[in-house]
Structure 1
Amino acid sequence: MLLIVTLGVSTLCASQASATDLVGSVRVIDGDTIDVGTARVRLHGIDAPEQGQHCGAGGSGHWACGAWVTENLRQMVEGRMARCVELDRDRYDRIVARCFVDGEDVGEQMVSRGFAVAFTRYSMDYTTHETAAREAGLGLHAVAFDPPAQYRKRSAQKATKNAQKECVIKGNISRDGAERIYHMPGQRDYKATRINLSKGERCFDTAEDARLAGWRPAKR
């Protein structure tokens, strides 16, 4: 009797799990993001070049690898039916999921063909597929390219550096994130204050703009 009950519970759990799967027609957003029906989905475990990213160095030339990867994913799955298993939510509240088209794992296919890399910060699921693609010189591995995470970090640093040059009023966030403070030219800490856009810090044209945005003036 206990065995029968256990099997019954297992069957019920499996049924509930399958009921939560996301199913719908695919629209490709970029190399690792798709819409499945009306839901925005970030493909689990992979990282593809950013849409505006360029690859290649030396004799390889410079080419729009981000757009190229997006187009390859589009040819693979655009308009087809996908089944996605939600695993998490990212900081943009997108569904992070493993998605299947005709029974094939889309993320695995992207990495195996050299269109994306394993996103080892979050998952080790596709590391062997990346190694095989790299050794075979497939896709991105046939040329020089910056890993997408490295490209994003460098782009953020460049944007922050430009912001420092153009900043008039510096909107700074305290280390514990509790306070948003703006510094005016001439104040004691103005020159030493650095703006980190990735943390949500920003520049303002006027003190009024800063106050309206919810920032308070620095005391010194």
Structure 2
Amino acid sequence: MIVAAPAAAEEPIIGRASVIDGDTIEIAGERIRLNGIDAPESWQRCQDENAAEYRCGKEAAFALDQWLAESRPTRCVFVERDRYRRFVGTCFRSDGYEVNRWLVETGNSLDWPRYSNGLYADAQKRAKANRLGIWRGTFTEPCIARGEKAKRKPSC
């Protein structure tokens, strides 16, 4: 009789994070997709409260970079590998603050219930009520924007 053992979870990754975009970082050469959230793409544009267009994806990435620099190193706990073989995880600054949650509560990312099971819904409600980040104006959900750019059905 052969018994298949479950694959061992990967070890956490700890180190200085480089920001790739608003929901992807890199530590020690490993790309890490932040689990359960979806940030605007670096090329994506939004409108602020005065209907002025701005690069919301670039703004989200810049905010993340500044925030991570305040408390290093970053530690990421493995959730899974995605279809691109990226490490998908939940990350924390050295002070213990969860990166994924911070991005949603500051309005720099959206809760992605498809992957989070609504874990960040409360943080998103607060960001929206306080008109933080992308919530200060209008925007297209990142998953819809990607679909439109690729001329395919959105994967939301």
TM-score where L is the length of structure 1: 0.61
Provide the rounded CA distance (Å) in 2 between the counterparts of 1:30 and 1:117: 14
Moved over 3 A (4+): none
Provide the rounded CA distance (Å) in 2 between the counterparts of 1:131 and 1:43: 19
Deviation at 1:78, TM superposition (A): 4.1
CA RMSD in angstroms, aligned pairs only: 2.3
Contact map agreement 2:105 2:124 (CA 8 A) in 1: yes
* Alignment match of 1:116 (pick from 109, 112, 117): 109
Higher relative contact order (CA 8 A, sep 6+): 2
Q: Which residue is 1:85 aligned to? A: 77
> Which of these two proteins has the greater Rg computed from alpha carbons?
1
Provide the rounded CA distance (Å) in 1 between the counterparts of 2:96 and 2:103: 14
Q: Which residue is 2:4 aligned to? A: none
Contact map agreement 1:113 1:138 (CA 8 A) in 2: yes
List gaps (5 residues or longer) in structure 1: 1-15, 161-195, 197-220
* Alignment match of 2:18 (pick from 13, 27, 38): 27
Contact map agreement 1:28 1:78 (CA 8 A) in 2: no
Q: Which residue is 2:129 aligned to? A: 135
| 2:45 pairs with 1:54 | yes
TM-score where L is the length of structure 2: 0.85
Provide the rounded CA distance (Å) in 2 between the counterparts of 1:78 and 1:44: 20
Q: How many pairs are equivalent?
A: 144
Provide the rounded CA distance (Å) in 2 between the counterparts of 1:153 and 1:30: 18
Q: Which residue is 1:72 aligned to? A: 63
Q: Which residue is 1:156 aligned to? A: 150
Deviation at 1:38, TM superposition (A): 2.0
Deviation at 1:156, TM superposition (A): 1.4
List gaps (5 residues or longer) in structure 2: 1-7
Provide the rounded CA distance (Å) in 2 between the counterparts of 1:57 and 1:82: 31
Deviation at 1:129, TM superposition (A): 0.6
Q: Which residue is 1:105 aligned to? A: 98
Look up the SS of the partner of 1:98 in the other structure: strand
Contact map agreement 2:48 2:54 (CA 8 A) in 1: no
Contact map agreement 1:31 1:73 (CA 8 A) in 2: yes
